[in-house]
């Protein structure tokens, strides 16, 4: 770990005040330990600015002393993008204010350290919907969600985080503040700069606030559906959308073995429809009125059964039952962790190619990791699969983990051959920093490096994440 110069530390402490920084070893360790634990890091100092002005003064100070920064929100990222490796960690969790809610413009402006649940509740209090939803929503922050362009379970209808931002406020690596907060839907005045920062993983600046899109509130109907094959899952998606159009909000694929993992791990959970079939699908349809949503869902499932695509289905009869379906889906990552060791992938391919991808990839992966369980789940409506291999911890972990590079090659080459992406929603961070160089064209990587160098010539923003400048 490179210790920042003492002059920097004393100036930063003066600037931030006693609540604005810590050197407590436990907190430094927590900030350096990512959720998945892949690349544990280190940091000498956590700065916790309380306002945009304070954040800007801090970044200016870092620039003056050539001190590198790792921005951090909730530290729930899955590619080690928010893990410092000797850099000063700038935690945004003190900046959580709601600056404005404008229900008639369907927009709200909140600070970057607010969690996703806070954003959902702020919208709800204004009789509106902020639709992003994902398993880590109680901890993940708006700044982190924007910086990773997070997806989640409602992308099918509302898009990813990038699609949900109207404006941003960013402290640039120089310490200058870019006030791009705007509630406008139409603004054709040159480069749309906010999109540079969405998905930039903290490499271009520190996001301090965002203006977000709001939507009319909806009522939801959810169904748990048993399906025989991945091909039937894809056909069912098309059929349900034919019947319910854009009101299909979520279409999640869950394998039978993941349901078994959750049931074994989480007391009180049970398989809603035990069956021998390989797959379950969790479908959610939303409409202004609950009866409309239920009618559309019933109609679509009846058509699915007639077409031989639905083996069995349960439409939730209460909010509690719908929550119990979702609880199974959302608990898979934790139950998979309890089950044993996993090799994880977050990929996307065109929806139509999902069955071919699973079949070919499983056969090739099986050749090098014979005993592993395939735990393939995720946002099938977006073509996004969390393609994972798991095995109980009692087995030979070291050999299993050592197969990760070979598994990566098979999975990523298959994805690339189908015009897919090796990172659908989690980002690149440190985890896929080298891997991405194989799959993006030299032109694209070159453009990314040029942009990064232009905005952060000293290379102080989150070094070591995403492909860096040469
Ligand atoms: C159980 C679980 C389920 C998940 N499900 C999903 C899912 O369905 N879909 C999905 O997309 N992701 C999912 N994730 C991943 C994760 O929640 C997202 O990556 C989230 O967007 C990260 O937010 P964060 O505040 O925790 O950011 P962090 O992890 O702290 O940081 C993530 C990245 O953003 C940067 N960053 C953070 N704050 C700022 C800021 N203010 N300005 C500039 N850069 C910043 C960091 O440097 C880092 O590169 C899941 C994670 C978990 C643990």
Range of the domain at 25: 6-91
End position of a domain, from candidates 91, 116, 147: 91
Q: Whose alpha carbon is nearest atom 3 of ligand 1?
A: 135
pLDDT for the residue 395:
67
- CATH code at position 188: 3.30.465.10
Check if 35 has its Cβ closer than 6 Å to any atom of ligand 1.
yes
Mean pLDDT computed over 414-421: 96
Q: How far is CA 147 from the centre of its chain?
A: 10
The answer as to whether 1 is a domain residue is: no
Q: Could you give the dihedral angle defined by the CA atoms of residues 239, 242, 245 and 251, in that order, rounded to the nearest 10 degrees?
A: 10
Same domain? 200 vs 63:
no
pLDDT of 9 strictly over 90 = yes
Check if 250 has its Cβ closer than 6 Å to any atom of ligand 1.
no
The answer as to whether 446 is a domain residue is: no
Same domain? 164 vs 280:
no
pLDDT of 461 strictly over 70 = yes
Spell out where 240-372 has E strands.
Answer: 248-255, 279-287, 312-315, 340-343, 346-348
Same domain? 144 vs 256:
no
End position of a domain, from candidates 56, 91, 126: 91
Identify the three-state secondary structure at position 92.
Answer: coil
pLDDT of 2 strictly over 70 = no
**CA of residue 33 to ligand 1 center, whole Å:** 14
pLDDT for the residue 36:
75
- CATH code at position 240: 3.30.70.2190
pLDDT of 1 strictly over 60 = no
**Percentage, residues of the chain above pLDDT 90:** 94
Same domain? 141 vs 277:
no
pLDDT for the residue 347:
97
Same domain? 40 vs 103:
no
Check if 73 has its Cβ closer than 6 Å to any atom of ligand 1.
yes
Check if 156 has its Cβ closer than 6 Å to any atom of ligand 1.
no
Same domain? 381 vs 413:
yes
Same domain? 203 vs 277:
no
pLDDT of 136 strictly over 70 = yes
The answer as to whether 102 is a domain residue is: yes
Q: Residue 230: which pLDDT band, with cuts at 50, 70 and 90?
A: very high
Same domain? 209 vs 263:
no
The answer as to whether 151 is a domain residue is: yes
DSSP character for 412? H
The answer as to whether 132 is a domain residue is: yes
- CATH code at position 73: 3.30.43.10
Q: Residue 432: which pLDDT band, with cuts at 50, 70 and 90?
A: very high
Check if 333 has its Cβ closer than 6 Å to any atom of ligand 1.
yes
Of 12-16, 36-40, 77-81, 99-103, the least confident? 36-40
pLDDT of 164 strictly over 70 = yes
Same domain? 223 vs 348:
yes
pLDDT of 41 strictly over 60 = yes
pLDDT for the residue 397:
84
Mean pLDDT computed over 418-442: 95
Check if 381 has its Cβ closer than 6 Å to any atom of ligand 1.
no
Same domain? 172 vs 104:
yes
Mean pLDDT computed over 119-127: 98
The answer as to whether 460 is a domain residue is: no
Mean pLDDT computed over 191-206: 98
pLDDT for the residue 370:
81
Identify the three-state secondary structure at position 243.
Answer: helix
pLDDT of 272 strictly over 80 = yes
Closest CA to 41 of 53, 33, 50: 33
pLDDT for the residue 42:
96
Q: Whose alpha carbon is nearest atom 23 of ligand 1?
A: 144
Partner residues linked to 219 by β-bridges? 287
Distance CA 385, CA 415 (A): 11
Considering only residues 179 and 400, tell me which one the structure prediction assigns the higher pLDDT: 179
pLDDT of 469 strictly over 80 = no
Two tokens, residue 7: 């002059």
End position of a domain, from candidates 35, 63, 91: 91
Check if 84 has its Cβ closer than 6 Å to any atom of ligand 1.
no
To test ligand 1's pocket by mutation, which of 143, 252, 468 has the most ligand atoms within 8 angstroms of CB? 143
Domain count, the chain: 3
Two tokens, residue 349: 């391919």
To test ligand 1's pocket by mutation, which of 83, 84, 97, 148 has the most ligand atoms within 8 angstroms of CB? 148
Same domain? 408 vs 336:
yes
Give the CA count within 13 Å in the CB-facing half-sphere of 99.
Answer: 19
Check if 39 has its Cβ closer than 6 Å to any atom of ligand 1.
no
Same domain? 73 vs 112:
no
DSSP state letters, 5-24: PHHHHHHHHHHH-GGGEE--
Mean pLDDT computed over 399-425: 95
DSSP state letters, 344-410: --EEE--GGGHHHHHHHHHHHHHHHSTTPEEEEEEEGGGTEEEEEEEEETTS-HHHHHHTHHHHHHH
**CA of residue 334 to ligand 1 center, whole Å:** 16
Q: Residue 405: which pLDDT band, with cuts at 50, 70 and 90?
A: very high
Q: Whose alpha carbon is nearest atom 20 of ligand 1?
A: 145
**Percentage, residues of the chain above pLDDT 70:** 99
The answer as to whether 462 is a domain residue is: no
pLDDT for the residue 213:
98
The answer as to whether 75 is a domain residue is: yes
Q: What pLDDT digit, counting tens, does each position of 141-158 carry?
A: 999 999 999 999 999 999
Q: What pLDDT digit, counting tens, does each position of 353-402 carry?
A: 999 999 999 999 999 988 889 999 999 999 999 999 999 887 678 888 99
Distance CA 458, CA 452 (A): 10
Q: Whose alpha carbon is nearest atom 8 of ligand 1?
A: 152
């Amino acid at each position: 770990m490179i210790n920042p110069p003492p002059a920097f530390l004393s100036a930063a402490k003066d600037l931030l005040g006693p609540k604005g920084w810590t050197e407590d070893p436990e907190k430094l360790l927590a900030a350096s330990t990512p959720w998945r634990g892949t690349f544990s890091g280190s940091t000498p100092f956590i700065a916790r600015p309380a306002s945009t002005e304070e954040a800007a003064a801090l970044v200016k100070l870092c620039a003056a002393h050539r001190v590198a920064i790792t921005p951090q929100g909730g530290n729930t990222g899955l590619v080690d993008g928010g893990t410092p490796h000797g850099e000063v960690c700038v935690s945004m969790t003190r900046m959580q204010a709601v600056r404005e809610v404008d229900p008639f413009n369907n927009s709200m402006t909140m600070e970057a350290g607010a969690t996703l649940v806070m954003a959902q509740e702020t919208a709800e209090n204004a009789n509106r919907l902020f639709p992003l939803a994902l398993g880590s929503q109680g901890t993940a922050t708006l700044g982190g969600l924007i910086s990773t362009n997070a997806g989640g379970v409602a992308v099918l209808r509302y898009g990813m985080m990038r699609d949900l931002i109207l404006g941003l406020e960013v402290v640039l690596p120089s310490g200058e503040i870019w006030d791009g907060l705007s509630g406008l839907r139409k603004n054709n005045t040159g480069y749309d700069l906010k999109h540079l920062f969405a998905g930039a993983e903290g490499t271009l600046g520190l996001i301090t606030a965002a203006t977000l899109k709001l939507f009319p509130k909806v009522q939801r109907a959810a169904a748990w559906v048993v399906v025989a094959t991945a091909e039937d899952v894809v056909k069912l998606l098309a059929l349900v959308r034919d019947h319910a159009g854009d009101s299909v909000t979520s279409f999640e694929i869950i394998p039978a073995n993941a349901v078994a993992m959750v049931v074994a791990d989480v007391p009180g959970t049970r398989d809603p429809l035990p069956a021998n079939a390989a797959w379950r699908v969790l479908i959610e349809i939303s409409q202004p009125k609950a009866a409309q949503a239920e009618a559309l869902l019933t109609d679509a499932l009846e058509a699915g059964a007639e077409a031989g695509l639905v083996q069995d289905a349960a439409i939730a009869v209460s909010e509690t039952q719908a929550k119990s379906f979702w609880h199974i889906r959302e608990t898979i990552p934790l139950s998979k962790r309890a089950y044993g060791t996993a090799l994880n992938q977050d990929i996307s391919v065109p929806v139509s190619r999902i069955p071919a991808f699973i079949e070919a990839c499983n056969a090739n992966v099986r050749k090098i990791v014979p005993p592993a369980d395939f735990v393939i789940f995720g946002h099938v409506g977006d073509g996004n699969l969390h393609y994972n291999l798991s095995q109980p911890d009692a087995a030979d972990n070291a050999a299993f983990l050592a197969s990760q590079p070979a598994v990566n090659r098979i999975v990523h080459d298959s994805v690339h051959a189908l015009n897919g992406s090796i990172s659908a929603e989690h980002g690149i961070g440190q985890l896929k920093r080298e891997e991405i160089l194989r799959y993006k064209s030299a032109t694209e990587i070159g453009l990314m490096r040029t942009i990064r160098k232009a905005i952060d010539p000293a290379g102080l923003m989150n070094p070591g994440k995403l492909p860096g400048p040469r």
